[in-house]
Amino acid sequence: MQVSEGDLSVRVPEQPDAGVGEGVFFNPDQELNRDLTVAVLRTVRDRDGRESYLDAHAATGVRGVRAANEGFDATLCDRDSDATELCRTNLDRNGLDGTVETRNANALLHEQHFDIVDLDPFGTPIPFADAAFRGARHFVCVTATDTAPLCGAHRESGIRSYSAVPQNTEYHAEMGLRVLLGALVRTAARYDVAATPVLSHATSHYVRTYLSLSRRASDANDALGSVGYVHHCFSCRHRESQSGLIARPPDECPACGANVRTAGPLWLARPHDGVFVGDVRDRLTDELGTADRARDLLTTLDGELDTPTHYDQHRLCRQWGRSARAMDEFLDRLRGAGFAASRTHYGGTTFKTDATAAEIEIATDPGSGSA
């Protein structure tokens, strides 16, 4: 069948049971992901003049074709010959030039270098991360769709894939994002490369991040300084973070005395750069099918507080035996009590704050008199 994205038309296989079987896969739900990629590529090109782009897991070639349409010297790679045949078809039908490679992305990345490398495999991207950080000159883009291992729902699988211990908390999407970032930053550091996330989001059962690279060992050291642990109490929802690669959990929860569980190593610093996010937002043009959604997402990201976890009002209110409020009113009460608070992109009832769980309960109590 034919689909349109941006101002392009591409052929994709009919997939009534998307993700079932071993054929060439196209996911229409990731149009937002691809539209944001286009805006990111425009930003990187305009800032730094980067030209070469590798779509390392091209499948139908939609992402690589769109990069070629933006003027990039695009290489579309897939080990499936049916996929690369479709890539050539989609380049030709849009009158675009590009290189198509039928091979394993790791092998290609050990032989060639690209300004930008984009990893979008099925499942975990970690088997391709080493080659990506060695083969990318400036920028690595990564999608992970194995959200259950990342967020701790499939804990053992997460440990195997990411060399980290995830915990299945109420901020599970952010847990997944930060576990992924921690693993990528540690992988890059093995090659004296600093990988700094400039835009990251967890949307519709996938995690997406864009990392700017520096090949200075001192920068890699600095990046590792933003990796650490989160210690979480499942009894009262208190949590605290700790920098460093050696975990030092408290003997008990400082708020209620219960045992705590530790997640990590994971990324603790801000998962995006505000200036970069603004530049990407400026390059979201109206021919992109999800432009409005993408602008809303980036606006929310830019307003998120710089804390490594978030809360869900509904979950807190259930624990307290209290009815939930409108989010604006709830956040206004927190701010009125002297705390910083912001919405997050993880859900309509999620928020970040510098208040502890106990302080949130008191500040938002309808009988507290806070305004």
Within the chain, strands assigned E span: 2-5, 8-11, 52-55, 73-78, 99-102, 114-119, 136-144, 194-203, 206-214, 227-232, 239-243, 261-267, 311-312, 341-343, 350-353
Domain ranges of the chain: 2-291, 311-363
Residues 6 or more apart whose Cβ sits within 8 Å of residue 338? none
- Write down the pLDDT at residue 1: 81
> Is 89:11 a contact under the CB 8 Å cutoff?
yes
User: What is the C-alpha R_g of the chain?
Assistant: 21
Q: Which CATH architecture has domain 311-363?
A: 2-Layer Sandwich (3.30)
- Write down the pLDDT at residue 13: 86
The whole-angstrom separation of Cα 164 and Cα 245 is: 11
- Write down the pLDDT at residue 15: 60
The whole-angstrom separation of Cα 359 and Cα 371 is: 15
User: Using one digit for the tens of pLDDT, what is the confidence trace for 64-106?
Assistant: 999 999 999 999 999 999 999 999 999 999 999 999 999 999 9
Q: Tokens 């978030």 map to which residue?
A: 310
Are both 2-291 and 311-363 of the same fold?
A: no
- Write down the pLDDT at residue 129: 98
pTM listed for this prediction: 0.95
Phi-psi region of 61 (alpha: psi -120 to 50; beta: other; left: phi over 0): left
Which CATH code, of 3.40.50.1820, 3.40.50.300, 3.30.70.660, 3.40.50.150, is assigned to 2-291? 3.40.50.150
From first to last of its 371 residues, the chain has per-residue pLDDT tens of 888 888 898 888 876 554 445 668 788 789 999 999 999 999 999 998 989 999 999 999 999 999 999 999 999 999 999 999 999 999 999 999 999 999 999 999 999 999 999 999 999 999 999 999 999 999 999 999 999 999 999 999 999 999 999 999 999 999 999 999 999 999 999 999 999 999 999 998 999 999 999 999 999 999 999 999 999 999 999 999 999 999 999 999 999 999 999 999 999 999 999 999 999 999 999 999 999 999 999 999 999 999 999 999 999 999 999 999 999 999 999 999 999 999 999 999 999 999 999 999 999 998 765 44
Q: Coil, strand or helix: which one is 5?
A: strand
| Kind plus residue range of the DSSP H or E element containing 68 | helix 62-69
